[in-house]
C-alpha cells in the first residue's frame, strides 16, 4: 500500500514543497488545472505525458489531502467529479511561471509560448493575476 502522508524531513521550506510535489507528475496536474483549465479526471489522463491512471488517482487524492485541490460533483453529470484549485494551489502560479521561464531559456526544444514568455518577462505580476483568474473560471 502506498503511504499518502509523506514523512516530513525538515522544516526547510524547499523540503516542505518537495514533500508535497517533489515527483515527476504532481505539477503536471497543477499545470493542467492552472494553465489549461482542465478539471476532469479524463482530461488529465489525456495529457501528452501519458500519466498512468493509478498515478493520476494517487496524486489527485494527495492534492486533495494537502488542500491544493477540491473535488466536487460535476454540475453537468452528478455521477462524475470536477477538480478545482484552492488558493493554496493557485498560489503555485508564480513558481510555475519561473519554472517555465527557466526551461524556455535552457531547453532548445521548448514548446513554451513566446507571447507568454514575453508577458512573464515584462509584467509578471499581471500575468500571475490573469493566470489565476482564468483558472478560477
Residues lying near a copy of itself in the complex (CB under 8 A) are found at 8-19, 22-25, 27-28, 31, 48-50, 88, 91-92, 94-96, 98-107, 109-112
- Cβ nearer to a copy of itself, comparing 49 with 76: 49
Minimum distance, C-beta of residue 81 to a copy of itself, in the bound complex (Å): 24
Reading the block at residue 34, the C-alpha cell is: 492552472
Instruction: Give the C-alpha separation, 84 to 33, whole Å.
Output: 7
Smallest separation, CB 20 to a copy of itself (Å): 9
Element (H, E) at 69: strand 69-74
Q: How far is the CB of 29 from a copy of itself (least distance, A)?
A: 11
- Report the residue number, 64 or 74, with the smaller CB distance to a copy of itself: 64
End-to-end CA distance of the chain, in Å?
36
Q: How far apart are CA 107 and CA 128, in angstroms?
A: 23
Amino acid at each position: 500500500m502506498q503511504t499518502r502522508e509523506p514523512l516530513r524531513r525538515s522544516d526547510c521550506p524547499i523540503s516542505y514543497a518537495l514533500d508535497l510535489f517533489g515527483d515527476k507528475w504532481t505539477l503536471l496536474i497543477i499545470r493542467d488545472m492552472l494553465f489549461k483549465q482542465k478539471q476532469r479526471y479524463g482530461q488529465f489522463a489525456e495529457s501528452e505525458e501519458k500519466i498512468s491512471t493509478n498515478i493520476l488517482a494517487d496524486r489527485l487524492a494527495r492534492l486533495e489531502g494537502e488542500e491544493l485541490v477540491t473535488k466536487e460533483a460535476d454540475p453537468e453529470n452528478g455521477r462524475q467529479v470536477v477538480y478545482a484549485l484552492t488558493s493554496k494551489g493557485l498560489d503555485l502560479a508564480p513558481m510555475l511561471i519561473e519554472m517555465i521561464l527557466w526551461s524556455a531559456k535552457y531547453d532548445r526544444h521548448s514548446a513554451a509560448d513566446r507571447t507568454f514568455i514575453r508577458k512573464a518577462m515584462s509584467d509578471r505580476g499581471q500575468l500571475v493575476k490573469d493566470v489565476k483568474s482564468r483558472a478560477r473560471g
